[in-house]
Amino acid sequence: MKAIAILALKEAALIEARAAGTAEALEQVRIKYLGRKGLLPDIMKGLKDADVSERPAMGRYANELKQELAALLEKRRAALEKAAAVSAPDSFDATLPGRWRAFGARHPISRIIEDAIRIFDTLGFTVADGPDIETEYYNFDALNTPADHPSRDTQDTFWLESGQLLRTQTSPVQIRVMESRPPPVRIIAPGRCYRRDTTDATHSANFHQIEGLYVGERVSMADLKGDITCFAQRLMGPGVKVRFRPHFFPFTEPSVEYDFSCHVCGGKGCRVCKQSGWIEISGAGMVNPKVFTKVGYDPETVTGYAFGMGVERIAMIRYGIHDIRLLYDNDKRFLEQLAQ
C-alpha cells in the first residue's frame, strides 16, 4: 500500500463517520477502521514490508487517520446523544395505548394455606411453626413411633449425616408447642414436609401439610369430625363430601383417615382417585395418652385430637388439577388460569 492510499482511506473513514446517523452505525465505523481486525491495524502490520522511501509518510498518515477519526467519532457520539436527549420528549406519542403489566397472583398452594389459616382462625386456632430440619426425638420418639417402624427407614425418610432428618410431617410442631405451654392448646401448623415418595400424579417427595391439634377437657372424636367437616365445606363449598375411615397411627388412638370426594370424576371413579371416587387427604385421631405423657400432660385430665392434611391434594380438588406435578412446573400459562 502507498502513502497516497492511506490518505484516501482517511477521507473515506471521515466521510462515513460524518454520515453515521445512529450510535450503532458509528460503532460499526470504529470497528471497520480502528478495531482489532480493522483496516488501520492491517496497515500498521504492513509497514515492515513497504518500500523504505514510503515508510515515513505511511506512518505519519496512519497516525493522522487514527487521531482524526477517533476525535470525530467521539464528537459525533456526543452529538447523537445530545440530539436523542432533546428529541426524546417530542417522540412520545400520547395517542398510543398504554402498556399494561399483568397483575401477579398468589400461588395456589399459598392461597390454600392462607384460606385454611383464616378458616381455622374463626374456629379458635392459632398458627404455630417449627424447623424443617428435625431431631429423631421430635419427629418419631415423642410421637410414639416404634424404633422398628418403617417410616424411620432411609427408604422413607431423608436422613442427614448429623443424625437429624428432614421432617416427614409437621407433627413435631405439636410436640414443641405442648412442651412449651400448658393446656388448653388449639393450633394449626402449616409447613413444608419431605418424604422419599416416588413422584406421580398424586404424590411428591416435597409437599406441604397443615396439621392441627386441639387439647383440653372433654375433647372428643365428635369435635374432630365437626371441625374437619366445617373446614372442608367452608373451603370447598357446601357440596363437598368428607369420609372418615378407621386406621392406625402410633400417635393417635383411635385413629382415622379422611378423604374428600374426587373432583375429576365426581365420585364415579377415575385414574386420579384410583377408581375409588375419593382422594385421600390425610390422617387424624384422638391423641395417644403416651404422647401426652411424653410432653408432661396428664392423660387422665385432658384429651385431644390431632389431624393433618395435604395442601397439594386440597388444591387439586379445589382447582380441578389432575396432576400434582403441575403445581411445581412453574408454567406461567397454567398458573394464570388459577389466578383470582
Span 151-172, pLDDT tens digits: 899 888 999 999 999 999 999 9
Confidence of residue 231 (pLDDT cuts 50, 70, 90): very high
Do 153 and 294 reside in the same domain of the chain? Answer: yes
**Per-residue pLDDT, 26:** 84
Indicate whether 263 pLDDT > 70.
no
Q: What's the rounded Cα separation, in Å, for the pair 171 and 52?
A: 92
- Mean pLDDT (the chain, rounded): 87
Domain membership flag for residue 100: no
Q: How wide is the angle at C-alpha 280 spanned by C-alphas 187 and 217, nearest 5°?
A: 30
**DSSP characters over 221-241:** HHHHHHHHHHHHHHHH-TT--
Which one has a higher pLDDT value, 84 or 30? Answer: 30
Note the pLDDT of residue 216. 96
How many structural domains is the chain composed of?
A: 2
- Over residues 233-254, the pLDDT tens digits come to 898 888 778 899 999 999 999 9
Model pLDDT for residues 101-144, shown as the tens digit of each residue? 777 788 999 999 999 999 999 999 999 999 999 999 999 999 99
CB 145 within 8 A of CB 172: no
Please check whether residues 165 and 78 belong to one and the same domain: no
The answer to whether residues 145 and 165 touch, using CB atoms and an 8 Å cutoff, is no
Is residue 102 domain-resident?
A: no
**Interatomic CA distance for residues 66 and 10, integer angstroms:** 8
pLDDT above 70 (res 264): no
Global pTM value: 0.67
Supply the pLDDT for residue 272: 66
d(C-alpha 116, C-alpha 234), whole Å: 9
For the chain, what's the residue count? 340
Q: How far apart are CA 204 and CA 328, in angstroms?
A: 10
- Domain co-membership, 66 together with 142: no
> 124 — alpha (psi -120 to 50), left (phi > 0) or beta?
left
Model confidence at 183, in pLDDT bands (50, 70, 90)? very high
Neighbour-count burial for 235-258, b at 16+ CB within 10 Å, e otherwise: bbeeebebebeeeebbbbeebbbb
* 99, part of any domain: no
The reply to whether 179 and 312 lie within a common domain is: yes
Q: Is residue 222 predicted with pLDDT exceeding 60?
A: yes
Domain that holds residue 253: 108-337
Cβ count near 304 (within 10 Å):
27
Q: Are residues 305 and 331 in the same domain?
A: yes
Residues 214 and 240 in one domain: yes
Q: What is the reported pLDDT for 203?
A: 80
Output the nine-digit C-alpha cell for 4: 497516497
Angstrom distance (rounded) from CA 304 to CA 184: 9
Give, as one character, the DSSP assignment of residue 330: -
109-135 burial, b for 16+ CB within 10 Å, e for fewer? bebbbeebeebbeeeebeebebeeebb
Report the run of H or E that residue 80 belongs to, with start and end. Answer: helix 55-87
Whether 290 has a pLDDT exceeding 90, the answer reads yes
| From 58-67, 252-261, 307-316, the region with the lowest mean pLDDT | 58-67
Q: Residue 87: its pLDDT value, please?
A: 58
Question: What CATH number does residue 280 fall under?
Answer: 3.30.930.10
Highest averaged pLDDT of the listed ranges 56-65, 262-271, 314-323: 314-323
Boundary residue ending a domain (91, 119, 135): 91
164 and 222 both lie in a single domain: yes
Task: Please give the pLDDT value at position 97.
Answer: 83
Interatomic CA distance for residues 188 and 329, integer angstroms: 28
- Residues 59-75: tens digit of each pLDDT: 787 788 788 888 888 88
Least confident stretch, 38-42, 301-305, 319-323: 38-42
Structure confidence at residue 218 as a pLDDT band (50, 70, 90): very high
* Backbone φ and ψ of 311, nearest 5°: -65, -40
Q: To which residue does cell 372433654 refer? A: 218
Q: Are residues 152 and 249 in the same domain?
A: yes
Is 308 in the same domain as 190? yes
Question: With 80 as the cut, is the pLDDT of residue 182 above it?
Answer: yes
Q: Are residue 152 and residue 269 in the same domain, yes or no?
A: yes
Which of 91, 120, 148 is a domain's end point?
Answer: 91
Residue 291 included in any domain: yes
pLDDT band at 221 (very low <50, low <70, confident <90, very high): very high
Q: Which residue has the cell 365428635?
A: 222
> Could you give the CA distance from residue 165 to residue 176 in angstroms, rounded to a whole number?
16
Whether 208 is covered by a domain: the verdict is yes
Residues 189, 80 share a domain: no
Summarize the confidence of residues 22-44 as an average pLDDT.
82
Evaluate whether residue 98 is within a structural domain.
no
CA angle 207, 208, 209 (to 5 degrees): 130
